[in-house]
């Protein structure tokens, strides 16, 4: 019998994690796998549980939550031979949606029963990791605002976006690659491993988590009248040809920004005004 560790974030999304273990046990192939459950009690606890789990000879460790839970788990399992699974019960679930992990507990657990593994890339930013999308500018400000809000979920995220929109301006960025230095001006800059932020908001429609490439996306601030078309294109995966949108592909960038913070998979963090962004190819085994 192989042991599987489920790390449940009870505050992710609509707090579906609180009683999720019964559903997981119902659908898990218990002839093959013995489930163990651990519930996170504070921010950072998920990584501590995963680190402990690394030494315990689990067949797989499953992040039960949203992209923050996936990030805290993935940063520990990176470069290990223990695969990470996802049961997506977060607000956005960007990586799970990109990987086509079912959003139902039943579907997600059935995927775990099959145990098919993909070696996915990770984006390293100043020694920290992003598995889905990281960014600076507007979306980093939104992630800071969202973190301070009491309620999570899509509605709170939209409120955070609206509040930040008025305050945020275009800023100057310098992007250095091995070949070139780009002086750019924009509202936000994203570093995409996966194709979306979550909720099917496709910021990098062509991105692929196992192609060894970072999609660096620069977006200029839209005027109010431009927002409906920009939003429509974001949710239909057709942003590429919008006049406010630019993309540079690469495996390593040095970035200079006016602020000193970023978000990594939706979690705000300090990175400084100058930092490096690099791909680590096929670094994390993931069940999908
Ligand atoms: N018991 C807890 N109390 C407070 N915060 C917690 C607890 N357990 C985990 N966290 C933190 O909760 C945050 C949010 O988790 P997560 O990102 O998985 O959910 P979400 O924001 O609803 O989903 P998504 O990122 O997909 O939009 C993470 O920063 C994590 O560190």
pTM (global) more than 0.90? yes
CATH class entry, domain 2-115? alpha beta
Q: Decide whether any atom of ligand 1 lies within 6 Å of the 88 Cβ.
A: no
d(CA 268, ligand 1 centre) in Å: 12
- Most informative mutation of 6, 9, 45, 63 for ligand 1 (most atoms within 8 A of CB): 9
Q: For residue 232, what is the DSSP state?
A: H
Q: Tell me how crowded residue 191 is: count the other CB atoms within 10 A of its CB.
A: 25
| In contact, 136 and 255? CB cutoff 8 Å | yes
Reading the chain (288 residues) residue by residue, the pLDDT tens digits are: 999 999 999 999 888 888 899 999 999 999 999 999 999 999 999 999 999 999 998 999 999 999 999 999 999 999 999 999 999 999 899 999 999 999 999 999 999 999 999 999 999 999 999 999 999 999 999 999 988 887 777 788 888 999 999 888 999 999 999 999 999 999 999 999 999 999 999 999 999 999 999 999 999 999 999 999 999 999 999 999 899 999 999 999 999 999 999 999 999 999 999 999 999 999 999 999
CATH 1.20.1250.20, applies to 128-283: no
Reduced to 3 states (helix: H, G, I; strand: E, B; else coil), residue 170 is coil
ipTM over 0.95: yes
Tokens matching residue 129: 């990791």
CA distances (Å), 61 to each of 25, 205, 287, in order?
15, 29, 10
| In contact, 228 and 207? CB cutoff 8 Å | no
**Do the domains at 2-115 and 128-283 have one common CATH topology?**
no
Four-residue CA torsion sign, 201, 203, 205, 211: negative
Q: What are the sequence ranges of the domains in the chain?
A: 2-115, 128-283
């Amino acid at each position: 019998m192989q042991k599987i560790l489920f790390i449940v974030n009870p505050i992710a999304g609509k707090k579906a994690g609180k009683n999720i273990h019964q559903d997981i046990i119902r659908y898990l192939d218990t002839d093959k796998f013995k489930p163990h459950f651990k519930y996170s009690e504070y921010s950072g606890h998920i990584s501590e549980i995963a680190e402990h789990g690394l030494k315990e000879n689990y067949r797989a460790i499953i992040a039960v939550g949203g992209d923050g839970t996936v990030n805290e788990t993935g940063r520990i399992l990176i470069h290990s031979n223990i695969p990470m699974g996802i049961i997506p019960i977060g607000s956005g679930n960007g990586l799970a949606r990109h990987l086509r992990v079912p959003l139902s507990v039943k579907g997600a657990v059935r995927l775990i029963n099959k145990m098919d593994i993909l070696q996915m890339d990770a984006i390293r930013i100043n020694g920290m990791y992003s598995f889905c999308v990281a960014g600076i500018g507007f979306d980093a400000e939104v992630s800071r605002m969202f973190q301070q809000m009491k309620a999570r979920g899509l509605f709170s995220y939209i409120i955070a976006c609206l509040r930040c929109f008025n305050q945020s301006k275009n800023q100057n960025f310098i992007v250095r690659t091995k070949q070139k230095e780009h002086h750019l001006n924009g509202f936000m800059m994203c570093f995409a491993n996966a194709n979306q932020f979550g909720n099917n908001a496709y910021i990098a429609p062509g991105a692929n988590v196992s192609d060894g490439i970072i999609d660096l996306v620069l977006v200029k601030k839209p005027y109010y009248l431009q927002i409906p078309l920009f939003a429509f294109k974001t949710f239909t995966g057709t942003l590429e040809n919008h006049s406010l949108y630019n993309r540079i592909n690469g495996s390593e960038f040095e970035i200079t920004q006016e602020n000193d913070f970023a978000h990594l998979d939706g979690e705000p963090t300090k990175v400084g005004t100058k930092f490096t962004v690099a791909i680590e190819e096929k670094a994390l085994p993931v069940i999908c």
